[in-house]
Structure 1
Amino acid sequence: MLFAVICTSCTSKKEKKDAEPKPPNIIVIFADDLGYGDIGCYGAKGIKTPNLDALATGGFRSTDFFIPANVCSPSRAALLTGRYPMRAGYPVATRPAFPKYKNYGFAPEELTIPELLKSAGYRSLMVGKWHLGMEVKGSHPLDAGFDEYLGIPSNYGVDNTLYHNKDTVAKEVSCEILTSAYTDKVVDFINENQDHPFFIYVSHHIVHNPLLPSEGFKGSSEYGEYGDFVQELDFSTGRIMKALEEAKLHDNTLMVFTSDNGPTYKGQTGGLSGGKYCTMEGGHRVPGIFYWPDEIPVGQTSSTLMSSMDLMPLFCNIAAVNLPKDRKIDGENILDILKGKTSESPHEFTYYYNGTNLQAIRKGKWKLHLPRTVSDQPFWSKTGHPKVDKGFITLEDYVLFNLEDDLAEKVNVVVKHPEVVALLKKQADIIRAELGDVHVIGTDQRVPNLKNPQERDPVELKK
């Protein structure tokens, strides 16, 4: 009788355990310098992306996805921490080839997505470009909470050493093999971790210069090497989706696809002004695709403002992990938006920084560009370029755009809406005091370990 009771009790506990839903797996695919108009479902010309398009059709496509930086490193810091780069201490891109940046690393005090998810039993993998000062002590992906890493420290061509965790795999790895190597690693990780939840961060080099697609993709598009490279990224995405399906993890995996900032002049902005290096919409508005068959209804296209900073709160919510209470998290949980339950953005204001310079502020459809001088600008925006639209390099007065009617930011309506201008100017002063500016240290700004962050290294100037 006692044996029967014990067995019944054991069976009940086992059935209860089996019935408990497994937390969803999470995969973020982060393109590099990919423009708003560079993939098929966003109107790309000469480029075919059937796998990414399938994710959008089968899930949620955002037409107003905001990235809080227009260059690589700060965008990555914001994604991982859910905080504006000024708050997270990483407002400008690191350039490890120059001595100025030798101590400019990702602050160990910052909490990241993999660190928080670890408490819910998640294993984590990062592949690709780190670009947050890997050579600085305490700033390696493993120090930031990842269980495993395969990639190179920053942009290809700066340091082409391929690392697995902290071990050197190859000194001068060919760029053409990296996407395939990263995808192989992701597929293996999926197959090895089918019994517990995982978080995978795929940080592509595509489509950052140099444009070096692998042999099988050269000439595959009608948009030159740029298009060939994007199509290789799409193929990689398809391989990851196939691995999930074969492992029967497809339905309970949240896939997110986006880009770190807008494109260079070679890319397509989808009609937006500007691109990488500036605070026009083309620099900060990028594709945002969410796919999760178990939870996200199919076929949604949304103009609700969301941000890459929202990923941390979203992931913590679906993993039943509490957000830290000892710091400000700028992102918000957007699950109800993704499920189609609301179309209201959780962001009353968004802030456009160029390096450490606050250059624009947005509330709803209104976007106010703020006055600036050349000396305020980061080095990448101090001068014009015949092929690059860098927006307002200097601005003597305020400029107001109605993004609802003028997404290309062509018609200044500042005179017609003085009350809107006054409201946004007031909020700009508030956030400048909190997050800082070129000549202001904010009350909640993590000051970077970098002298004169807006300026080039003197060594580079001598060259």
Structure 2
Amino acid sequence: MKPFLCFSLVWIFFSCFPNATHAQTKKPNIVIIYVDDLGYGDLGVTGAKGVKTPNLDKMASKGLLFTDAHCPASTCTPSRFSLLTGNYAFRNNASILPGDAPALITPKIPTVANMLKRAGYQTGVIGKWHLGLGNGNIDWNGYINMGPKEIGFDYSFLIPATGDRVPTVYTENQRVVNLNPNDPIKVSYQSKVGNRPTGTENPELLKMKADLQHSNTIVNGVSRIGFMSGGETALWKDEDFPFVLTKKAKNYMIANKENPFFLYFAFQDIHVPRVPNPMFEGKSSMGPRGDAIAQMDWCTGELMKTLDSLGIAENTLIIFSSDNGPVLDDGYADKSVEMLGDHKPAGPFKGGKYSAFEGGTRVPTITYWPSKIKPGVSNALFSQVDLFHSLSELVGVKLNDNEAKDSFNALPVLLGERKKGGRKVMLEEAFTLALRSGDWKYIHPVSMATPTWLNDKKVESGLSKNVQLFNLKNDVEEKNNIAAQYPKKVKKMQALLENIKNKGTRIN
């Protein structure tokens, strides 16, 4: 072919398809969908009974479904801290935070959002935060001076803590939404402020009864943890969560469709209080908890439809998972126990939220990227703490020495290029520390007695004064403590744990 003719054909091709090169070289969008309190068995594809999850089942059938993927801890704040920083939560004494806690992650701690900004990404967080805000005394009536913006997020629309904690308002870019300056907000976790009724004083106003911890200020017929006055025009309505948050996520994706973007979308569902929108009431046979699962599935489907409609689904990596295992009775009388039926929220695993057993951290996990990930099932051992390093490999950013110190590159696992193996050693946090090494599971003994409030949750915590060792290959339900039979294995796993804990040794 003559050079001129060859050049002409190339010119014609790119004239007709001007985005051809761009489509091949553009960095993928990244969406992390993080559900709250969703157990391993809470999806149709993982065995749910009494509720259908068609959108997530479809995602799993066209993506990669993990059978041994874990959140870093069995409670939400520590898991969120580890996911965003690539560091174990115990290194920063991260625990479940009150609603007025100062920011847990400060600019001194690098985040995955910071890293992705270096790669040219727009970064956004929408939904439940629960990582603290402000430097101390939070100014709910002005700009909140420490939050997502200061740690790498260009945009934020938040439930500041959780749905069961005050303040019951949204913040957008660190200012309370729809706040009337003549009705300032005041929040206290020590004593009552203002004249709003409380669950203890006016139980007749409640949509559902609550335990003593959740019986403070009533908003929208639900009593919360903590006291709040003011902000009447800014108060949320729990039933609106699926539409308000999903719309914000859609708008974020639409606004950034021409850019590579990172979206961390964190559900309130299926955390308490479970107050599903009337559109989803009765969608399950399990009452509000099951209906909230159906609601969550619908929201996820809406996000996927938006990516398709924008023509960017093929170039978007979705990572779907949960912050900890399931819990039924977590402070509100919503009939989650009575209406459970044959459903097993944690699947075949023991424990759940707050637990050191497998049900505490083994959570449903799906990765979906139509142009890259082939459908299948992965049995690889994976921890969310590795998302930071893995995403840096994906976008070609070299990590600095102070970044993601506990995170390893698991990108081949996430993309399904390696469906076995994964982490050789994995740490789990649950009021104690546990360690996985292949099929072996070690739970470190504790000197304290199991707290009364934890016993009240009726969750098998795994806390014991004795060393615990299990072999999950033969005992997936962790019924038989075989520590006495394998003293050498116990000693080896104790040594591994001490190396990680005391010396900061990075062990994969």
Measured against aligned partners, the alpha-carbon deviations of 1:63-108 in whole angstroms (never above 9, x if no partner) come to: 1111111111111111111221123x252011135xxx4x463232
How high is the TM-score relative to the length of structure 1? Answer: 0.84
Q: Give the letter for the 1:269 counterpart.
A: A
Does the CA-based 8 Å contact 2:86-2:403 persist in structure 1?
no
What residue in structure 1 maps to residue 305 of structure 2?
A: 242
Deviation at 1:230, TM superposition (A): 0.8
Return the alpha-carbon distance in structure 1 between the equivalents of residues 321 and 417 of structure 2: 22
Measured against aligned partners, the alpha-carbon deviations of 1:112-133 in whole angstroms (never above 9, x if no partner) come to: 1111111222111211111111
Q: Secondary structure of 1:389's partner?
A: coil
Q: Secondary structure of 2:364's partner?
A: strand
Q: Give the letter for the 2:438 counterpart.
A: G
Cα distance, 1:236–1:422 mapped onto 2, change above 3 Å: same
Does the CA-based 8 Å contact 1:77-1:90 persist in structure 2?
no
What residue in structure 2 maps to residue 371 of structure 1?
A: 445
Q: Which residue of 169, 172, 175 maps to 1:164?
A: 172
Q: Which residue of 66, 75, 97 maps to 1:62?
A: 66
Q: Which residue of 357, 366, 371 maps to 1:289?
A: 366
Does the CA-based 8 Å contact 1:32-1:72 persist in structure 2?
yes
Cα distance, 1:383–1:96 mapped onto 2, change above 3 Å: closer
Return the alpha-carbon distance in structure 1 between the equivalents of residues 40 and 243 of structure 2: 24
What residue in structure 2 maps to residue 117 of structure 1?
A: 116
Return the alpha-carbon distance in structure 1 between the equivalents of residues 22 and 108 of structure 2: 37
What are the residue-to-residue correspondences of 1:9-408 with 2, within 5 Å? 18=22, 21-87=25-91, 89-96=92-99, 101=101, 103=102, 105-136=104-135, 139-158=146-165, 159-170=167-178, 171-265=234-328, 266=336, 268-298=345-375, 300-355=376-431, 357-358=432-433, 360-374=434-448, 381=451, 384-385=454-455, 388-395=458-465, 397-408=466-477
Q: Secondary structure of 1:286's partner?
A: coil
Cα distance, 1:15–1:91 mapped onto 2, change above 3 Å: closer
Cα distance, 1:19–1:190 mapped onto 2, change above 3 Å: closer
5+ residue gaps, structure 2: 137-144, 179-233, 329-335, 337-343
Does the CA-based 8 Å contact 1:105-1:139 persist in structure 2?
no
5+ residue gaps, structure 1: 436-442, 445-463
Q: Secondary structure of 2:152's partner?
A: coil
Deviation at 1:320, TM superposition (A): 1.6
Q: Give the letter for the 1:391 counterpart.
A: S
Cα distance, 1:384–1:145 mapped onto 2, change above 3 Å: closer
Cα distance, 1:387–1:325 mapped onto 2, change above 3 Å: closer
Return the alpha-carbon distance in structure 2 between the equivalents of residues 421 and 18 of structure 1: 54
Measured against aligned partners, the alpha-carbon deviations of 1:237-293 in whole angstroms (never above 9, x if no partner) come to: 111111111111011100111000011134711021111112111111101100001
Identify which range, 311-320 or 206-215, moves more after superposition: 311-320
Deviation at 1:306, TM superposition (A): 0.4
Measured against aligned partners, the alpha-carbon deviations of 1:180-223 in whole angstroms (never above 9, x if no partner) come to: 11111111121221211111111100011000111111111112
What residue in structure 2 maps to residue 455 of structure 1?
A: none
Does the CA-based 8 Å contact 1:130-1:153 persist in structure 2?
yes
Q: Give the letter for the 1:287 counterpart.
A: P
Q: Secondary structure of 2:177's partner?
A: strand
Deviation at 1:427, TM superposition (A): 1.4
Q: Give the letter for the 1:66 counterpart.
A: H
Q: Secondary structure of 1:57's partner?
A: helix
Q: Give the letter for the 1:96 counterpart.
A: G
Q: Secondary structure of 1:374's partner?
A: coil
Return the alpha-carbon distance in structure 2 between the equivalents of residues 277 and 15 of structure 1: 49
What residue in structure 2 maps to residue 454 of structure 1?
A: none
Return the alpha-carbon distance in structure 2 between the equivalents of residues 327 and 316 of structure 1: 11
Return the alpha-carbon distance in structure 2 between the equivalents of residues 238 and 202 of structure 1: 13
Return the alpha-carbon distance in structure 1 between the equivalents of residues 117 and 378 of structure 2: 31
Does the CA-based 8 Å contact 1:368-1:400 persist in structure 2?
yes
Task: Report the count of equivalent residues.
Answer: 418
Deviation at 1:18, TM superposition (A): 3.8
Q: Give the letter for the 2:105 counterpart.
A: F
* Coordinate RMSD, CA, aligned: 2.6
Cα distance, 1:21–1:90 mapped onto 2, change above 3 Å: farther
Return the alpha-carbon distance in structure 2 between the equivalents of residues 307 and 278 of structure 1: 16
Deviation at 1:386, TM superposition (A): 5.2
Deviation at 1:54, TM superposition (A): 0.8
Measured against aligned partners, the alpha-carbon deviations of 1:307-348 in whole angstroms (never above 9, x if no partner) come to: 111211222222122222234532222222244432443422
Identify which range, 159-168 or 332-341, moves more after superposition: 332-341
Identity %: 34
Identify which range, 158-167 or 56-65, moves more after superposition: 158-167
Cα distance, 1:53–1:200 mapped onto 2, change above 3 Å: same
